[in-house]
Amino acid sequence: MYAVVATGGKQIKVAEGDIVSVEKLDAEIGSTLDLDVLFLSDGDSAIIDKESLAKAKVTVEVVDQYRGEKVMIFKFKKRKGYKLTKGHRQNLTRVLVKEVRQG
């Protein structure tokens, strides 16, 4: 059984036992959270009904809080002498999917 959950403005496909990285969640390491389910499937049938999905939950445990790899941003305009270099590191949370339940 797998589910598609929404967190951090993104949709992620998860199954029990998966370890996934999502945008930073305000939670302590070791705490558990329930994520909103957008789609649920057991391989043969799919559930997309909003009433049924309201009962469905994906329980995750926070494993780690960390920062992702640095992304370099370089802008320039030719023949103008304009160059700009910036870097960005996203704060991320690594979670372990404990349970996917229909409800």
Instruction: Judge whether residue 95 has pLDDT over 90.
Output: yes
Tokens of 47: 């559930």
Among 27, 2, 25, 1, smallest CA distance to 12 is for 2
Query: In this predicted model, what pLDDT tens digit does every residue of 17-54 receive, in sequence order?
Result: 999 999 999 999 999 999 989 999 988 888 888 888 88
**Domain total of the chain:** 1
**Domain that residue 13 falls in:** 2-101
Whole-angstrom Cα distance, residue 88 to residue 72?
7
